[in-house]
């Protein structure tokens, strides 16, 4: 659910024989075989992870997705478990992507947004509740420069106007002072025209503003609004800190990068995902211990990660394996030496290397890692085409 949050793009689907060959290479060698695929159709420019699926916008404007494809709604014509990145038909000008639980959206180069997948709560923004396997334009929305997706809602920042949201609204996550689901975009109360960073996760939405303050709204049952209370406001609420540069939202906790390159987290903390050593929920921002030089932050289910200035990745919270180290202590992720960005969703994590390639690890029962297998990985593993 959570996507990379700073406000920041072919070919035919892989044939079954090709998928099988890739899977065999990955299983036999653990690192693939032959040369890496090259060209704009294989270079990732943006990626996002939902509950059980990942999508990436490619340099040529296409979108590739992999993982859970229940009902064939995320990738038309593909099996329910897609184990390698596979082309999504119907979109060729994507520059950003956002992934929720069973649906995805793409920000196109002309500033419009298209969504596809589950639409039971109106999260496709097309004025209907009909699920669609092909990308359809979100209505009444243009000049968009950032998007995000939560469990069953989505939001977009429109240049010089503010933030607009649609989909499930029962916890106030649309920010329009109501708790009603919407199948068309509605303006978030207060506008938030100066938002510079937008992030959604679960039923919570957050934005960083130009003055370095942050606002959150929606589900706050675990303190994830960050205002010192366990409330679920239907309009943006000021987070009790200043100096934010980037924010990341998970299903029950939130973390942020600060101007001094430290990290703050709040919300659910039982697995140590807040990194403050307490192992308890916090309803206002708490500093992550022993972590400096943070350049990017990401959160998933019960776990948080930060890219450090030296391009290494450090994570804390629920371990990747039963024999993991102390929950509340940040530990370096082995196999990530030149990381540029990181995203998390559910129990899947992916990092992009300086060469543009993704390495993913975590749960893989539905092909979430895109490595041609359904084997869970505790170490970062390259995706396969």
Q: At 383, phi and psi to the nearest 5?
A: -70, 160
The rounded distance, in Å, linking the Cα atoms of 347 and 360 is: 11
The structure tokens listed for 159 are 């240049």
Q: Looking at the chain, list the stretches that DSSP marks H as alpha helix, in order from N- to C-terminal side.
A: 16-29
Residue for token pair 């809602």: 153
Residue with token string 């919570």 = 204
d(CA 326, CA 267): 19
Tokens (6 digits) for 91 = 């979109």
What CA dihedral angle connects 188, 190, 194 and 195, to 10 degrees?
Answer: -40
Query: What sign for the dihedral angle of Cα 202, 203, 208, 214?
Result: negative
Q: pTM of the full predicted structure?
A: 0.89
The owner of tokens 């206002």 is 284
Instruction: Please list, residue by residue across 339-352, b when 16 or more beta carbons sit within 10 angstroms of its beta carbon and e when fewer do.
Output: bebbbbbbbbbbbb
pLDDT of the chain, 385 residues: tens digit per residue: 544 433 333 333 333 333 333 332 332 223 333 345 667 788 999 999 999 999 999 999 999 999 999 989 999 999 999 999 999 999 999 999 999 999 999 999 999 999 999 999 999 999 999 999 999 999 999 999 999 999 999 999 999 999 999 999 999 999 999 999 999 999 999 989 999 999 999 999 999 999 999 999 999 999 999 999 999 999 999 999 999 999 999 999 999 999 999 999 999 999 999 999 999 999 999 999 999 999 999 999 999 999 998 789 999 998 755 444 445 678 889 888 877 889 999 899 999 988 888 999 999 999 999 999 999 999 999 999 8
Domain ranges of the chain: 16-382
Distance CA 305, CA 330 (A): 8
Is residue 65 a contact partner of residue 74, using CB atoms and an 8 Å limit? Answer: yes
- Give the model's pLDDT for residue 7: 39
Give the fold, CATH level 3, of 16-382: Methylamine Dehydrogenase; Chain H (2.130.10)
CA distances from 372 to 86, 137, 384 (A): 11, 31, 6
Beta bridge partners, 137, equal 114
DSSP state of 28: H
Return d(Cα 302, Cα 266) in angstroms, integer. Answer: 12
Give me the sheet containing 294-300, strands edge to edge.
Answer: 294-300, 303-308, 313-317, 331-332
């Amino acid at each position: 659910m959570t996507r990379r949050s700073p406000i920041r793009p072919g070919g035919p689907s892989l044939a079954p024989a090709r998928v099988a060959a890739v899977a065999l290479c990955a299983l036999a060698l653990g690192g693939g075989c032959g040369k890496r695929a090259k060209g704009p159709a294989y270079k990732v420019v943006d990626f996002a992870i939902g509950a059980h699926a990942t999508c990436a916008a490619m340099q040529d404007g296409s979108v590739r997705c992999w993982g859970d494809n229940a009902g064939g709604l995320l990738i038309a014509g593909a099996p329910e478990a897609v184990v390698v990145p596979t082309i999504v038909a119907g979109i060729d000008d994507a520059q950003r992507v956002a992934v929720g639980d069973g649906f995805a959206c793409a920000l196109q180069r002309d500033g419009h947004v298209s969504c596809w997948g589950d639409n039971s709560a109106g999260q496709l923004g097309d004025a209907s509740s009909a699920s669609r396997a092909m990308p359809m334009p979100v209505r009444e929305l243009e000049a968009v420069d950032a998007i995000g997706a939560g469990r069953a809602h989505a939001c977009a920042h429109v240049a010089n106007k503010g933030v607009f949201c649609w989909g499930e609204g029962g916890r106030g996550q649309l920010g329009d002072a109501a708790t009603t689901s919407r199948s068309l975009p509605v303006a978030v109360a207060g506008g938030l025209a100066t938002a510079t960073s937008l992030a959604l996760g679960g039923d919570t939405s957050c934005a960083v503003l130009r003055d370095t303050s942050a606002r959150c709204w929606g589900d706050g049952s675990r303190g994830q609004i960050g205002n010192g209370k366990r409330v679920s406001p239907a309009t943006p609420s000021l987070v009790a800190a200043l100096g934010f540069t980037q924010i990341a939202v998970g299903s029950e906790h939130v973390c942020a990068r600060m101007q001094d390159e430290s990290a703050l987290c709040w919300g659910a903390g039982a697995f140590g995902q807040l990194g403050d050593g307490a192992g308890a929920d916090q309803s206002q921002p708490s500093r992550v211990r022993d972590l400096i030089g943070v350049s990017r932050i990401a959160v998933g289910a019960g776990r948080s990660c930060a890219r450090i200035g030296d391009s290494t990745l450090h994570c804390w919270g629920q371990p990747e394996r039963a024999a993991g180290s102390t929950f509340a202590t940040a530990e370096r992720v082995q196999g990530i030496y030149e990381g540029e960005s990181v995203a998390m969703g559910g129990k899947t994590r992916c990092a992009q290397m300086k060469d543009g390639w993704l390495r993913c690890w975590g749960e893989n029962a539905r092909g979430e890692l895109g490595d041609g297998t359904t084997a869970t990985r505790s170490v970062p593993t390259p995706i396969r085409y």
